[in-house]
Chain A
Amino acid sequence: MLMELTENILTTVPLSFHIFMALATFTVLGACGVAFSQNIVYSAFSLLATFAGMVGLFGFLSNDFLAIVQLMVYVGGILVVILFAVMLTNKISDIQSSNPSNNIIAGFTLMLMLLTVLVTSVFSYDWKTRDPGPYEPTAAKIGDAFLGPYLINFEIAGLMLLVALLAAVVVARKEVKFAEDNQAEDEG
């Protein structure tokens, strides 16, 4: 009975739909963990699940370059930085309430209203779609676009990353204290 049912589902619904549903469920469950977990470390690791699911969804959308960029920048960079910040700013001893939330009911109501508006508008608008065609590699086209029509944007983005790097160092460094200041502090 169960075997027949499984076979029936597998033959009537294409495999790609099952793969999409698995990836989407993984991503959304990870996001739920980020939103509802009371422990900030669990929230950070749920964020890992969301980013991994996004890698799969980008791959599903035939965007191999962006999937790899997502993996390297988000999973390899941003998540590690977030985990560092969690470890540096939280006492691990009171981990049970390390991620408190307030206005849960108001926030949940607002979220449901926002979700209703978004999903309703998605289903009520008549989107013009096209047949996506077969999977193709995209890295070469994106590289051409970066050195062609989007060259200025690319350079400005690189400059912005440099500025952000310097700003992060300047903001996060320890205050430099000179000898006189130390003396004054000792006397005072």
Chain B
Amino acid sequence: MTVGLMHFLVVAAILFALGFYTVVTRKNAVGILMGVELILNAANLNFVAFSRYGDVANVTAGQVFPVFGIMIAAAEAAVGLAIVLAIFQNWGSIDTEKVTALRQ
């Protein structure tokens, strides 16, 4: 019983599903951003797992792309949390059900 590609794919699938659940159900905007981080992590894990266990010609490509994924995650966290702070300054709450100015 050795560790193979499928084990990592299943772990990444579970991480993705839990991140999806977090994004769908949370009312707190910071909680939603945490779910997005989980989803990005699941994608990165798949890239690295395929680069190690998959039958690919270019092994380095699967190791380089997650670095870009992490960069995107860092930019997303910085801008997303800045937007959350701006919303908090204007509304006094980051409950996504209360911030409905565009709905009126």
Residues in A lying within 8 Å of B, measured CB to CB: 12-14, 16-17, 20, 24, 27-28, 31-32, 34-35, 40, 43-44, 47, 50-51, 54, 57-58, 60-63, 65-66, 69-70, 73-74, 77-78, 81-82, 84-86, 88-90, 98-104, 106-108, 110-112, 114-115, 118-119, 122-123, 127-130, 132, 138, 141-142, 144-146, 150, 153, 157, 160-161, 164-165, 167-169, 171-172, 174
Contacts and interface: CB of A to CB of B under 8 A. Distances in A.
Given A40-B30, A43-B31, A78 B74 contact: yes
Contacts of A104: 25
Contacts of B44: 54, 66, 70
Given A110-B20, A128-B54, A130-B54, 20 more contacts: A16-B2, A17-B2, A24-B11, A34-B18, A34-B35, A40-B31, A50-B15, A54-B45, A63-B48, A66-B67, A81-B78, A86-B30, A89-B30, A102-B25, A111-B24, A127-B5, A127-B6, A129-B53, A145-B64, A171-B82
18 contacts: A57-B8, A66-B48, A73-B74, A77-B74, A78-B37, A82-B77, A89-B29, A100-B27, A102-B27, A102-B97, A108-B21, A111-B21, A114-B20, A122-B6, A157-B71, A164-B78, A168-B79, A172-B82
A28 B48 contact: no
Interface string B36-75: 0110010011001101111100001101101110111111
Given A86-B30, A142-B60, A129 B4 contact: yes
Contacts of B13: 115, 118-119, 122
B61 to A, nearest CB: 8
Nearest to A130: B55
A89 B15 contact: no
Nearest to A13: B1
B63 A142 contact: yes
